[in-house]
Amino acid sequence: MSKTPVRKGFTIWFTGLSGAGKSTLAHELDRQLRARGVPNVEILDGDVVRENLSKGLTFSKEDRDT
């Protein structure tokens, strides 16, 4: 049997208020990880995900309950 190294995935969540720098920090971490040879880095930006999955919804209580 081959001794292939096992690589485990991991997730890093950045949480905070709007405008706190989460996306900026995520993109810098992405750059640093890729520079160190970490493959398959994915960034899921909440604003982008929300725009694509929930277009037209706001942060109102009514929309959040949708």
pLDDT in the model for residue 54: 79
User: Could you report the per-residue pLDDT of 4-23, keeping only the tens digit for each?
Assistant: 666 788 899 999 988 899 99
Cα 47 to Cα 23: distance, rounded to the nearest angstrom: 9
pLDDT in the model for residue 5: 66
The structural domains of the chain, with segments of one domain joined by +, span 22-64
Measure the N-to-C terminal CA separation of the chain; round to a whole number of Å: 51
Q: CA–CA distance from 4 to each of 1, 7 (Å)?
A: 9, 9
CB 64 within 8 A of CB 58: no
pLDDT of 51 strictly over 90: no
Give the helix, strand, coil percentages of the chain, each rounded to 5.
Answer: 40, 0, 60
Tokens representing residue 26 in the block: 């995520």
- Local confidence band at 1 (pLDDT 50, 70, 90 cut-offs): low
**pTM as predicted:** 0.67
